[in-house]
Amino acid sequence: MRASLPPLKKTRLPWFDEEVQVEIEREITVEYSVTNVQYDSFVHTTQRRYVFLLPQEREIPASQIILMTDGLPFITTSTNGNISERLPTSWLVDPTIIVEDRIMKREKGKEEVTVEDTPYPDKILETRVREDIISRKITLKNELGKDARLTVRIIESADVQMMSAEPISTKTDKPRYEWDVTLGKDAEESIQCRYQIRIEKTRQMDKPKPEEKKSRTKS
């Protein structure tokens, strides 16, 4: 394009102007650990991004984006550039989908205790292992004012394993479980899951002295 660049000035040049299609992607990703899966309640944030489908292939580098409705700006975000005809924005926090994750039930398992010797003669290593079953419920509430589609993703870890889910996940690729949820206006949906968790606690302690042992047997 032809233009003039005067000294000590900024020049804004029109680049392109075209109609594009928009898709809004919303997702919630939950990653449990042995600690947080036992929490009574847990807050998750819904993430949202806009994906623009370009009508023709065009190289758009990392750019700042100003989103407008009715001629007024409402969000300033950015993009890392397009991948073929898709131009996604960076992820934003979406306050319109409220997520509640609460514990429903806890079934305690039997604790197994094992004792091992350590390199120190007066110390022992005690390991306590227990396998519990935890039931949790994720409730999604739509406060957008219109229908919303989103993906709920739960990622299990080595010590937190998914046993069952209601409804069954739409896509399973262990350790990732995905649900495609469509929420109507002001609607609520929930996902109930059961997890098996392995709680392992190891501690080094003093070896009981023979006298203590004897006194214990006497008593």
- Spatial separation of the C-alpha atoms in residues 75 and 80, rounded to whole Å: 16
Residue 59 beta carbon to another protein: minimum distance, rounded to whole angstroms: 9
Look at strands 92-94 and 63-69 and give their pairing.
Answer: unpaired
- Spatial separation of the C-alpha atoms in residues 149 and 142, rounded to whole Å: 10
Nearest residue (CB) to another protein, 59 versus 122: 59
- Spatial separation of the C-alpha atoms in residues 198 and 138, rounded to whole Å: 21
Nearest residue (CB) to another protein, 2 versus 174: 2
Q: If you search the block for the tokens 């944030």, which residue do you land on? A: 45
Nearest residue (CB) to another protein, 17 versus 40: 17
Residue 126 beta carbon to another protein: minimum distance, rounded to whole angstroms: 46
Nearest residue (CB) to another protein, 88 versus 175: 88
- Residues lying near another protein in the complex (CB under 8 A): 1-24, 50, 52, 54, 60-61, 63-69, 71, 79
Residue 183 beta carbon to another protein: minimum distance, rounded to whole angstroms: 17
Enclosing H/E stretch for 185? none
- Spatial separation of the C-alpha atoms in residues 209 and 216, rounded to whole Å: 11
In the chain the first and final C-alpha atoms are separated, in Å, by: 97
Residue 78 beta carbon to another protein: minimum distance, rounded to whole angstroms: 9
